[in-house]
Structure 1
Amino acid sequence: MKTALALRHVHFEDLGMLEPLLQARGYQVRYLDPAVDALVADAVADASAADLLVVLGGPLGACDEALYPFLAAEQHLIAQRLAQGRPLLGICLGAQLMARALGARVAPMGSKEIGFGALTLTEAGRESVLAPLAGVPVLHWHGDRFDLPAGAQLLASTAQCAQQAFARGPAVLGLQFHLELDGRNFERWLVGHCCELAQAGMDPRSLRADAQRCAPALAQAAQQVLGRWLDGLEVCASGAVR
């Protein structure tokens, strides 16, 4: 059975809708929590051996290793995976850590981008696995941004954040936005991030209503995006075997 290992920073920001999709494609899904699970030799070996590594989001900054030392070990693990050229998906913080491992700058935007909004797909994005997201509001929840890594293709942007998604070959995909949202569990996000919402002056009632309206279309698009990306990985793998 194929294996998918997800690095999770807070429990409510899990694989969401992506987990049953991966399981339906024959993946055994496991979680590793870098904040409490030491990233020692066995964990690094697991990450290296996994058919797919997913680095999820969280309220930390990608450059906060002085405050949260485990991030240094996680950054090293991601850099190793990138050097191997094996399938890697990063979401929000995960994409920022990937960008930093590829030598790109990660820095605060000076404002928060929180809420549902559609992406502007680049020409490359319209021809990529993200094509089903055209016109579909996705969930944004971040205050940092990354520069486009060298050798990567920019796939999407928003007015507030120019770098929303990048690909580096068929096996590496970084998403600043949250494709994985399971609308049935969105209340956990509102509770878990209640202090951030209050500081940003945002009303959880508006976000809750937007989630009820947008989550079904996002889930359908997410299934298409992930399916296309996994199909591409299988084509590459079969080509490598031949």
Structure 2
Amino acid sequence: MKPIAVFRHSLTEGPGYIATYMKGIGRDIKVVAIDRGDVVPHDPTAFAGLCFMGGPMSVNDPLPWIPEVLALIRRAMDADIPVIGHCLGGQLMSKALGGAVDANPVKEIGWRHVTLNGAAAREWFGEREGFLSFHWHGETFSLPDGATHLLASDACPNQAWAIGKHLAMQCHIEMTEAMIREWCVGGQKEIRAASAQPTVQSAEGMQQDIEARVAALHAVAETAYAKWSEGLKD
């Protein structure tokens, strides 16, 4: 079977739980480490699917790899290769399809509840009204033409959308305990700078009940990744 290409844009924002899930169902992943200068592949049909992770940059930054990634996303979707995006990855998907990525009114950093929007959302995230997700972003995407809105939070209404077998998320369902602890260390300056906003948690708050919160998030992620995996190519 072809591997799943996982695009890493920052050293600390790797595949996380999606790697664990794919290993469990016998699918291989190939990390394309943009952060260390890996070349953006041209042909999406070399992969079973494309997965885009988060990163501290903006999709509007003048980085040479961003136009290449946007073009790759469009080619993949045209070729019926499933695409999934987490945070920056979801923003890349939106921009690739003509959506806008702009500043959110507030930063969302830490744990925050998201709600499901209708039957389509339950297909991706299970028979629940909502769930506690992890967030770390200051920008937000608009929904591209043809997208179905799936998730919202009170601080950011566009948390996820889908088009067919493709899923874009603003929130982070891929988190592991180790990733959260690492981000809390590396993101101390950003947390302090935004601490006056009620949508920004302290590092201590993010790590409270972390084992139970991450386990519950993994249950949600498994539902979404299972749905997405149905479209993977052999």
The residue aligned with 2:161 is 166
Q: Say yes or no: does 1:92 pair with 2:91.
A: no
Cα offset, 1:2, TM superposition: 3.5
Check whether the contact 1:34–1:74 (CA below 8 A) recurs between aligned residues: no
Distance 1:126 1:37 in 2: 36
Please tell me the residue identity of whatever aligns with 1:62: V
The residue aligned with 1:155 is 150
Distance 1:148 1:124 in 2: 18
Q: Say yes or no: does 1:18 pair with 2:35.
A: no
Q: Say yes or no: does 1:59 pair with 2:53.
A: no
Please tell me the residue identity of whatever aligns with 1:141: W
Give SS of 1:181's match: coil
Distance 1:71 1:185 in 2: 24
Q: Say yes or no: does 1:180 pair with 2:174.
A: yes
Cα offset, 1:51, TM superposition: 0.2
Distance 1:125 1:141 in 2: 25
Shift of the 97–123 alpha-carbon distance from structure 1 to 2, 3 Å rule, reads same
Deviations 1:19-54 (A, max 9, x none): 1210122211111122433436xx223x44110110
Give SS of 2:217's match: helix
Distance 2:118 2:64 in 1: 39
Cα offset, 1:192, TM superposition: 2.4
Give SS of 1:209's match: coil
Give SS of 2:123's match: coil
Task: Name the one with the larger helix percent.
Answer: 1
The residue aligned with 1:192 is 186
Query: Root-mean-square deviation (CA), in Å?
Result: 2.0
Choose 1-10 or 92-101, whichever is displaced more.
1-10
- Aligned runs of 1:98-113 on 2, under 5 Å? 98-113=93-108
Displaced runs of 4+ in structure 1, greater than 4 A? none
Q: Which structure is richer in relative contact order (CA contacts within 8 A, separation 6 or more)?
A: 2
Please tell me the residue identity of whatever aligns with 2:3: T
Check whether the contact 1:152–1:168 (CA below 8 A) recurs between aligned residues: yes
Distance 2:149 2:119 in 1: 7
Distance 1:215 1:133 in 2: 17
The residue aligned with 1:207 is 206
Distance 1:230 1:156 in 2: 20
Check whether the contact 2:15–2:53 (CA below 8 A) recurs between aligned residues: yes
Please tell me the residue identity of whatever aligns with 1:145: T
Cα offset, 1:188, TM superposition: 1.2
Check whether the contact 2:111–2:135 (CA below 8 A) recurs between aligned residues: yes
Cα offset, 1:97, TM superposition: 0.6
Cα offset, 1:133, TM superposition: 5.7
Choose 48-57 or 68-77, whichever is displaced more.
68-77
Unaligned runs of 5+ in 2: 196-200
Give SS of 1:136's match: strand
Report how many aligned residue pairs link the two structures: 229
Distance 1:15 1:51 in 2: 16
Give SS of 2:30's match: strand
Please tell me the residue identity of whatever aligns with 2:118: E
The residue aligned with 2:33 is 33
Cα offset, 1:205, TM superposition: 1.0
